[in-house]
A = this chain, B = another copy of it.
Amino acid sequence: MAVYTDVAPAELEAFLSGYDIGTLTSFHGIAEGVENSNFLVQTTRGSYILTLYEKRVNRDDLPFFIGLMEHLAARGLSCPQPVAQRSGAVLSEIAGRPAAMVTFLPGVSVRRPTAEHCAELGRGLAQLHLAGADFAMRRANNLSVAGWRPLFVAADGQADDVAPGLADAIAAELATLEANWPQGLPAGVIHADLFPDNAFFLDEKLSGIIDFYFACTDFLAYDVAVCLNAWCFEPDGSYNVTKGRALLSGYEAVRPLSGAEKAALPRLARGAALRFLLTRLVDWLNVPEGALVRPKDPLEYLKKLRFHQAVDSAQDYGLAA
């Protein structure tokens, strides 16, 4: 939760004069978003989110993220829709930061998703993949298999300080996945970070997907694997196959998985678990003094990885045979 950059009301009013969205009636920093500063802006016309991109976001990636939201929204996906300035530009600057204004999405995220939420999420994820199919821009997934060893190196031999044996466990898994990462699966736009806090629900229906700042071009089934990790485990670390079945059935009702994708699912799920284990480990070891954000527990993902390592086939995730 964070507002890293302060925006003065007068500065915001000057900024808003570049948009045709009415006059300012309310303005509050919101305690969400780890990477960026977010403000809820209300005008005589409606509600918007103003995002200031902080230094963890590469400015060169912004046209991809913003173009993607425009593309998906134009195809009917419920996601934040970038608002163009009078000049036509969607990317702007305020308080010395690149910034964009997007539409405000109603809805509430869930902490403990039910199987029904998982089914909704699966459908929404498949819709995102279909809507993204003709998006022309590409962005490599720098947090896929080629990015994991640099993260492990960044942990700098301190993994065992977090849990004895963790370094060996990561090294072994990394070697396995590097040697056996799936190839040639259907690829396209993936969200890559579709955790429950990035999905909104209203009346138990998925009402919106937010936070496209890890989106990239990669195997579509890898996105499914991320969601199995993020949505289908219980707080005690056990896998809930009912939720998994709901998520996969929801997905397949919109976009059936190919045989190759199904076969690759266990390995992709291991990779997704390793990805979050590694990024959380690095964050855990690098908490800046006076940090606003408490890092998430990396060991949650070691447990999930152990589960995936024991999986025989995609049926173990609840996939219809």
> CB within 8 Å of B: which residues of A?
1-3, 8-10, 13, 23-32, 40, 42, 104, 106-112, 202-203, 289-292
- Cβ A108 vs Cβ B27 within 8 A: yes
User: With A108-B9, A291-B290 given, is the CB distance from A28 to B25 under 8 Å?
Assistant: no
Least CB distance, A121 to chain B, in whole angstroms: 15
A107 to B8, CA, bound (A): 14
How many copies of this chain are found per oligomer?
A: 2
Interface of A, helix, strand, loop or mixed by DSSP? loop
A26 to B28, CA, bound (A): 14
Q: Which residue of B lies closest to A39 (CB)?
A: B31
Contacts of A13 in B (CB 8 A): 108
Least CB distance, A152 to chain B, in whole angstroms: 28
- Cβ A1 vs Cβ B26 within 8 A: no
A3 to B290, CA, bound (A): 15
Chosen A-B contacts, 20 in total, with CB atoms closer than 8 Å, are A1-B3, A1-B31, A2-B31, A9-B109, A9-B110, A9-B111, A10-B110, A13-B108, A25-B106, A25-B108, A26-B106, A26-B108, A27-B108, A28-B30, A28-B31, A29-B31, A29-B32, A30-B40, A31-B31, A289-B289
A180 to B28, CA, bound (A): 42
- Cβ B24 vs Cβ A28 within 8 A: no
Contacts of A290 in B (CB 8 A): 289-291
Least CB distance, A79 to chain B, in whole angstroms: 16
A111 to B13, CA, bound (A): 12
Contacts of A112 in B (CB 8 A): 10
Which one of B10, B40, B291 contacts A28 once the chains associate, using CB atoms below 8 Å?
Answer: B40
Which one of B26, B104, B111, B202 contacts A107 once the chains associate, using CB atoms below 8 Å?
Answer: B26
- Cβ B111 vs Cβ A10 within 8 A: yes
Least CB distance, A111 to chain B, in whole angstroms: 5
Least CB distance, A207 to chain B, in whole angstroms: 9
Contacts of A107 in B (CB 8 A): 25-26
A109 to B8, CA, bound (A): 9
Which one of B25, B29, B292 contacts A292 once the chains associate, using CB atoms below 8 Å?
Answer: B292
Contacts of A289 in B (CB 8 A): 289-290
Which one of B27, B29, B109 contacts A1 once the chains associate, using CB atoms below 8 Å?
Answer: B29
Q: Among A31, A32, A42, A289, which residue has the most Cβ atoms of chain B within 10 A?
A: A31
Which one of B2, B9, B10, B108 contacts A24 once the chains associate, using CB atoms below 8 Å?
Answer: B108
Contacts of A25 in B (CB 8 A): 106-108, 202
Contacts of A32 in B (CB 8 A): 28-29
Least CB distance, A25 to chain B, in whole angstroms: 5
Contacts of A24 in B (CB 8 A): 108
